[in-house]
Each structure stands twice: as structure tokens, then as C-alpha cells.
Amino acid sequence: MSEAEAFEVAAAWVANAITAFTIYISFTFAYLTVAFVAGNKLSRFQTIVVSIMFALSAASSIFSMINSLMMWESALSHVENIDRSYFFNDPLFWYTYMMAILGGGILVSLYFMWNVRHHKER
């Protein structure tokens, strides 16, 4: 594979990662909206179902993004003159950063739903 082809393939995988991130954001804002607008009106069963669906959907977006980043790394491995010391070119930075931020976003969103539903107890 030539260097130009490797960059083209890498760019496609970065676009896939950004798409997966966009889907994650859509799931998260939809869940937060439901939590804010109707969270205290949902039954316990409805809350559990919505929360599980959100967590699984958001997690699948995260896994899709990480897979796309792994493919990006694989494509760039065919390019010899990439400076890996620059942290934006380091796949480990992206795996760690995105997993921490997005995984934390799932936990904070679930806490937000819990907080909305238990607001009167305080």
C-alpha cells in the first residue's frame, strides 16, 4: 500500500470514528432530555428499560469508535514518516481519552436520571 493510499484509508476510518462519536452524542442528549422532561414520571420498569437501552447503545457507539481508531492505527502503520511522539498521532492517547470521557458520560447521564427521580427525597 502506498503512503497516499494509507492516508486515504486512515481518513476514512477517522470519519467513521467521528460518526460513531456523533451517534454517541445523539443517544446521550436524547437520554438526558428524557430524564429531564419525563424522568420523574416514568415507572421503575420504564426507567430501567430506558437506562439499559441508553447504556448499551452508547457503549456500542464507543466500541465502534474504538474499532475505527484501531483501523486508523493499522492504516497509518503503513506510513513510515509519522511522528508518534506528537500525542495527537498516538492511538493510545485517543483510546484512553475517548474511553474515559465517553464512559464517564454514560455514568454521569445515569446519575442524572437517578438524581431527577430521587429529587424529592432530599
pLDDT at 112: 95
Tens of pLDDT, residue by residue, the chain (122 residues): 787 888 888 889 989 999 999 999 999 999 999 999 999 899 999 999 999 999 999 999 999 999 998 998 888 887 777 766 666 777 788 888 889 999 999 999 999 999 998 877 55
> Is 50 within 8 Å of 42 (Cβ atoms)?
yes
CA–CA gap between residue 48 and residue 54 (Å, rounded): 10
CA–CA gap between residue 56 and residue 34 (Å, rounded): 16
pLDDT at 85: 65
117 contacts: CB under 8 Å, gap ≥ 6: 39, 40, 42, 47
pLDDT at 121: 56
pLDDT at 50: 96
**Crossing angle between the packed helical segments 44-76 and 91-117, to the nearest 10 degrees:** 170
> Is 53 within 8 Å of 115 (Cβ atoms)?
no
pLDDT at 55: 97
DSSP string, 4-62: HHHHHHHHHHHHHHHHHHHHHHHHHHHHHHHHHHHGGGS-HHHHHHHHHHHHHHHHHHH
